[in-house]
Structure formats: structure tokens, C-alpha cells
Chains A and B, each alone.
Chain A
Amino acid sequence: MSSSLLRRRISHSWRPRTRTCKARGLNTHFDPIPEQNPPIKNLEEWTEMQLKRQEQKELIEYFSQFGSTQTRDTAWQPHHSLHRPPTPHSLTLSALLAAGAHLGHSTSLLNPNFIPYAYGARGGVTIIDLDHTVPMLKRATNLVRALAQRGGSVVFVGTRKNFRAAAQKAAERMGPQGFHVGDRWLPGTLTNRLELFGHSIVQTTKIEPDLVVFLNPIENTNAIRECAVHHIPTIGIIDSNVDPRIVMYAIPANDESQRTAELIAGVLSIAGREGADLYKNFQEELDLKRRQSDERLQKRRESFERSREKGLTERLYHESEERL
């Protein structure tokens, strides 16, 4: 794309020797010696700088084919945990381990109710038993999928700066059934809805969601309490210093790791997306059936009208009576 845009402005014909460059994030800066780079004065110098950088990029791209087979495209990148999470079917214990989901808090802060989910301790830190985490996470994904399949709404609450993107992405995956809270959950969102949203919205909108997923439950105790008051099921990432009973479906894992939160939110939202797609198909089928039944009804009405005009109604009535 860049080469085509640049070609519009250069006078001489210049064809790139290789295929379009995909290399990004490299230091495509120009000459490292600052004295040899005077400040840019006019448009030609800008174009010159752009072309020089493009040349460098393409040079690196050309020689990459002779280098390592482990390139940026083939290796795992940090942004993959957000944009390419594992599906519920392909979730493994090693993926959770790689994300650091097994690292709990200090042993002195261990909540006694968490002991069943603790594997042990090492270096003064509680290690979470991922053999419990995996089936509990799978159960949570089944819940989200079934809920979404029946048209339920899911709210992803991730109030730390690191978790904001994960919550937003998870909500996006679920389409119209997904919502997110990236900053503070305002106390009274559910219990003081009239004041928060106003009369008109409360009367026309379904305020209560069908499920709330907490990526950091200990920082959202207000929200958990409100959900409990309104009997809304909750899923939460429970760390070793948290009582697992505060949420309905606990997922024992590290709540401080961004990668873990992205993985869990991703897995849940992919299951939610599957359910949402099923719900959408179901809605479309319903619409089709409704339209067909409406058409049939319309046809029967029209034929009845026509027959009435011809005076056949009386005869049909008598015939039906005879049949009875």
C-alpha cells in the first residue's frame, strides 16, 4: 500500500525488487549519524526519507528469507493472547501455565476457603492447582454458550488498566449480547438504576444482565453484591487470597496477570460467540416460520373472501355439520 501511494509522487519509475514488505516494528529509521541528516525543508525531502525507509524495509524483507524460519509471523507475539485466544475446545493446561495462571499470592494471604484449589506453595507464593482450573473454566464456557444460545446478555467487568482491552474485545465478540465495563463499576448501577439511567431508560430497557464475568472480583465487591441481590449469576477469576464463594462459578487463577485475564476472557467470549451465532440462526428460523405462517394465513383469508363472494360459505357450513 505504501509503495503505491509513494509512486504517485515520484517522477522517475521505481519498481520494488521484491514483494510488498510485511516487516513491521523494525528500526526503519535512516542513518544513525545525526549530522548527516539535516532538518527536512520541503516535500521532496519528505518523500526522499519515505523512499529510503521503504528501501531499508524491503532489504530486510528480502534477506529474511535466508534467515531463521522463526519469524514474526510464525512466532507467538504478546498481542496474540488478546487477539488470538484459544477456543474452548483447544484449551490446554499448558496454555494456562504459559500465561502464568498458576501463580497465586503470598502464602500468608491464603484464604482458607481457597485451600481445595491450591496445589501447594513455592517461594512463599501459593501455586494454584490447574487440574481444578481447567474443568471449572470449561464449565464456565458451557454456561456462557448455553446462556448466549438463549439470547442472554453477558457483561465483562475488567476494571484494571491491563484488563480493559480484554473486557472490550470479549464484549465485541459476543455482538449485541456482549457488554463491558473497563473503568469503575458505578455503585448503584443495578440497585439505584432510576437515578443512574433515568426514568425513560428504566421503563423501556432491560437493565439486569443475565451473566456477569469478573476479571478482578476483589476490586468489584460492590458489583458482586448487586448481582447477588438481583440473583444474577456471576463468573470470576479467583486468586488465592479470595474466597471462591463470592461468585457463583469460580475460576481459580492468577487475577494479576494480563495474559491470564486475556486468555480466560477470550475463551469465555469465544464460547459466547458460538452461542450468540446459534441464537441468531434460531431467530432467523423463527422469523422465517412466522413469515410463512403469516403468508398461509393471508392466503386462507383471501380464499375465504373469494368463496364468500360466490356464496359457497353456506354450503361448506352444512357439509362440515354433516361430517360431525
Chain B
Amino acid sequence: MNHLLRFRPSVFTACRRSFATQQNFVPPKSLEAIDPSSSHELAKPVTPTFYTGRSSYYESMGALERAVQHSRQMLTTLNIFPLPPFALEALPPLIPVWKSKEKLNSALDTKLSATRYRRMLALLNELNHFRRIAKSAGHDDVGSVIQDILDFFERDDKEEHLKRGRKKPVKFDEYGRSYTLGRRKESSARVWMIASHNPPNDAQRNSPPPTSQILINNVPLNKYFPLPGDRERILAPFKVTGTVGAYNVFTLVRGGGSTGQSGAIAHGIATGLAGHAPDLESILRRAKLTRRDPRMVERKKTNRAKARKGYGWVKR
């Protein structure tokens, strides 16, 4: 057998055999280091939710569900879940401020439908509830971990959003003047108010009651508003609170007619008065002077003479 191994390669090349298959013979040992499955040039998908077609949405939902389960487990171990009714009452109110659907679309790089957005919000609200419980019970570490997850889904302008609807405090300048706006019908009034009476220290015992000036477009009240109804309307905030003559008023009013302008000035005065003396705000509110009267002139409609008035019935 050994003499066969000493055969020179020239002998093999001389008698080259022909086989039925076109391919050359490749010894199997040389293919050992080649992985048969790696013959595909393409890589396998990375995320397990690839075949849903909405990978990033389902990944984030999966992450949120895991967070909910984990938080629930932690709270149950800490004996603060599930909570009895008397503990639930003690929790502060939940005011969720989540990103809008459009903002979440760009944040998650998906297109959320209304249903999917609602499902995501349901999970976020549950997590928010757990965070609230953890924080109330004093477990700040657990609460902060949940907060880190929720921060991604909360609005960027969270504080501003929570402040809307709340009345802004009346601002005073260096002389103690308040500047407020009042509106009624088509009129708008800019009202500056300053206290007219002297401070109590300087007041003398028999000094006359304080008087004040009311100027509208640099014209005194009696000249600008000849009608008693308009004058009464402007003085109503002072009369109701008992502060007649206590404040000097300067207004610039534009638009509308006499009723509108007097109503706008009264609205501005009421807001300014509430700013100067916050205790009087409830009195003014009960007297319905702080509310901007929403009544506006109703538009005329087709087939009607005016907003409501119909044309006369004609037999023929």
C-alpha cells in the first residue's frame, strides 16, 4: 500500500479522470470551517416583533407592560398594593400630561392609530398610578425609577400645560399701579388702577373720606358716559366691595358702543380690584363682576330678517 503514496503528482495529472458531474471534487475537510447557514448574505431581523410590521410600537408596549408588572410586584412586596379604600382616598389627584399622538409618533418613529395611542396611554396611566402610590408611601427610590420611564412619554412643556386655565396674578409696577384688561361685546379696555387714599399712618382723625378720579381716554367719567346706566356699571365693582373713592382709575377703551365700553371698563376694574385686595375677589365673583360676559351680537342668518326675526307670513 505504501508504494501508492509515493506516486508522483505527475502520474495523477497524466491520467486525469472524467466524472459525470461538472463540478470538481472538493474534499469535505476543507469545508469544515464554513458555516452552511451563513451562505445567506442577508442578516436575520433583530427585533422579535419584526413580523408585526410595527416593531417599535410593540417593543415599547412590551417594555411598558414589563415595567407595569415589575412595579406591581415591587409594590405588592412593600405591602402598598392593592390599596384599601382609606389609603386610596389619601392619594393626591392624578393629572397626567402625556405627549400628543403626533409627538409620540415622532418620538417612537411610528404611525400610531387612535386605538393604539389609547392602549399606550392606558399603560402609562397605570404606571403613573404606581408612581403616585410609591411616592405617597415614602418610597422615593421606586417612584423615581418609574418616573424615569414616564419622563420619555410626558409633554415637554408640562408645567406650562398645567398652568393653563389658571388665572395669572395681576402685575404691579414700581408705583403700585395694576394693569388689567377688560372686554365686553366688541370693546376692550386697558385699565390702570392705583390706591388713592393716604396710608393709615398719615391719615388724620377727621380727614374727609378719600376721593378718586376715573379717567376714560383722558376724559372724566361724567363727561365720557352721560347715561346713568353706564356710570353705574363702572362704579358697581367699587360699590359692591365698599371701596368707592379708594382707587384712581385710568383707562384706554376702544371699540363697540357705550354699553360695551362701560362693561369692558367694569370688567377691567373688577380684575384690578381683585389684584389689589385679594380678599375682595370672592365678593366680586359672587356679584358676577369678574366673569367676562360672553354674550356677543348673534349673526344674521339666511331666510331670516335678523338673527332670530323671521319674515312676515304672506298668504300668497
A contact set with B: CB distance below 8 Å: 1-2, 5-6, 9, 24, 28-30, 34, 37-41, 43, 46-47, 49-50, 53-54, 57, 150-153, 155, 168, 171-172, 176-183, 185-186, 189, 196-197, 204-207, 209, 279, 282-283, 286, 289-290, 293, 324
Does any Cβ of A come within 8 Å of B86's Cβ? yes
Cβ–Cβ < 8 Å partners of A9 in chain B: 138
**Contact partners of B36 in chain A: CB under 8 A:** 150
Is B48 within 8 A of A43, CB to CB? Answer: no
Q: Which of B33, B78, B137 contacts A286 (CB 8 A)?
A: B33
B92 to chain A, nearest CB (A): 12
- Is B138 within 8 A of A324, CB to CB? no
Known contacts being A168-B62, A289-B32, is A186 close to B53, with CB within 8 Å?
Answer: yes
**Taking the complex as formed, is B228 at the interface, i.e. its CB lies under 8 A from any CB of chain A?**
no
CB neighbors of A among B43-72 (8 A): 43-46, 48-54, 58, 62
Inter-subunit contact B48/A54 (CB<8 Å) = no
A189:B53 contact, CB within 8 angstroms: yes
The reply to whether B49 and A54 contact each other, CB–CB distance below 8 Å, is no
Cβ-defined partner of B86 (8 Å) among A40, A150, A197: A40
Q: Is the pair B79, A53 in contact by a Cβ cutoff of 8 Å? A: yes
Least CB separation from B8: chain A residue: A324
**Least distance between B306 CB and chain A CB atoms (Å):** 56
Measured between beta carbons, the chain A residues less than 8 angstroms from B32 are: 289
Please, how many angstroms separate the alpha-carbon atoms of A171 and B49 in the complex?
A: 9
For B90, the chain A residues whose CB sits under 8 A away are 39-41
CB pair B138–A39 under 8 Å, yes or no, is no
B42: chain A residues at CB < 8 Å are 204-206
Assess whether A50 is in contact with B80, with CB atoms less than 8 Å apart.
Answer: yes
Whether A180 touches B48, Cβ cut-off 8 Å, given contacts A204-B42, A205-B42, A205-B43, is: yes
| B148 within 8 Å of A (CB atoms) | no
Report the tally of A-B residue pairs with Cβ distances under 8 A. 115
Contact (A182, B52) CB under 8 Å given A47-B138, A49-B87, A153-B44: yes
3 tightest Cβ-Cβ pairs between the two chains A and B: A151-B37, A40-B90, A206-B42
Given contacts A5-B139, A38-B86, contact A181 B51 (CB under 8 A): yes
Contacts of B45 in A (CB 8 A): 153, 179, 205-207
A2-B79, A179-B51 are contacts. A30–B84 as well, Cβ < 8 Å? yes
Q: Is B299 on the interface with A (CB-CB < 8 A)?
A: no
Closest residue of B by beta carbon distance from A202: B42
Given A289-B32, A324-B9, A324-B10, decide whether A24 and B76 contact each other with a Cβ distance below 8 A: yes
Residue of A nearest to B85 (CB): A34
B198 interfacial contact with A, CB 8 Å = no
Q: How far is the CA of A292 from the CA of B137 in the complex (A)?
A: 59
- Give Cα A156 to B53, complex, Å: 14
A301 to chain B, nearest CB (A): 17
Q: How far is the CA of A99 from the CA of B44 in the complex (A)?
A: 35
Tell me which of B43, B54, B138 contacts A46 (CB under 8 A). B138
Please measure, in the bound complex, the distance between the C-alpha atom of A320 and the C-alpha atom of B138, giving whole angstroms: 85
Additional pairs, 8, CB under 8 Å, beyond known A6-B79, A50-B78: A40-B86, A47-B138, A151-B37, A176-B46, A179-B50, A185-B51, A189-B53, A324-B8
B202 sits at the interface (CB 8 A)? no
Asked if B49 contacts A206 (CB within 8 A), the reply is no
Q: Which residue of B lies closest to A40 (CB)?
A: B90
A5 to chain B: which residues have CB within 8 Å?
A: 78, 139
A-B contact pairs, 8 of them (CB 8 A): A24-B76, A39-B89, A49-B80, A182-B52, A196-B53, A204-B42, A206-B44, A206-B45
Nearest Cβ on chain A to B28's Cβ, whole angstroms: 14
Closest chain-A Cβ to B270's Cβ sits at a distance in Å of 38
CA distance A63 to B58 in the complex (A): 45
Chain A CB count within 10 A is highest, among B33, B51, B58, for B51
Contacts of A283 in B (CB 8 A): 35
Query: Looking across the interface, which residue of chain B has its beta carbon closest to that of A186?
Result: B53
- Would you call B77 and A2 a contact (CB within 8 A)? yes
Instruction: Give B123 Cβ to nearest chain A Cβ, in Å.
Output: 14
From known contacts A39-B90, A205-B42, A324-B8, infer whether A186 and B52 are also in contact, taking CB-CB under 8 Å.
Answer: yes
B79 engages A54 (CB within 8 Å): yes
Query: Which residues of chain A come closer than 8 Å to B8, judged between CB atoms?
Result: 324
Q: Which of A28, A40, A177 contacts B79 (CB 8 A)?
A: A28
CA distance A178 to B49 in the complex (A): 9
Distance, CA A179 to CA B224, complexed state (A):
80
On chain B, the residues within 8 Å of A28 by CB distance are 79
User: How far is it, in angstroms, between the C-alpha of A189 and the C-alpha of B79 when the chains are bound?
Assistant: 46
User: Which residues of the partner chain A approach B44 to less than 8 Å between Cβ atoms?
Assistant: 153, 176-177, 205-206
Partner of B40, one of A53, A206, A209, A289: A206
Q: In the complex, are the beta carbons of B84 and A183 less than 8 A apart?
A: no
**A29 surroundings in chain B (CB, below 8 A):** 82, 84
Smallest CB separation, B35 vs chain A (Å): 5
Q: From known contacts A5-B78, A37-B84, A205-B44, infer whether A181 and B138 are also in contact, taking CB-CB under 8 Å.
A: no
Give chain B nearest CB distance to A15 CB in angstroms.
Answer: 17
Is B248 an interface position by the 8 A CB rule? Answer: no
**How far does the alpha carbon of A315 sit from the alpha carbon of B87 in the complex, in Å?**
94
Q: Shortest Cβ distance from A317 into chain B, in angstroms?
A: 15
B136 at the interface (CB under 8 A from A): yes
Flag B229-250 by CB within 8 Å of A: 1 or 0 each: 0000000000000000000000
The proximity string for B residues 65-107 relative to A, scoring 1 for CB distances below 8 Å and 0 otherwise, is: 0000000000011111010111101100000000000000000
User: Known interface pairs A24-B76, A168-B62. Does A34 touch B51 (Cβ–Cβ under 8 Å)?
Assistant: no
Cα-based distance from A197 to B77 in the complex (angstroms): 43
Distance from B312 Cβ to chain A, minimum over Cβ atoms (Å): 62
Residue among B37, B62, B76, B82 with max Cβ neighbours from chain A (10 Å): B37
User: Across the interface, which residues of B come within 8 angstroms of A39, CB to CB?
Assistant: 86-87, 89-90
Contact at A189–B51, with CB atoms within 8 Å?
Answer: yes
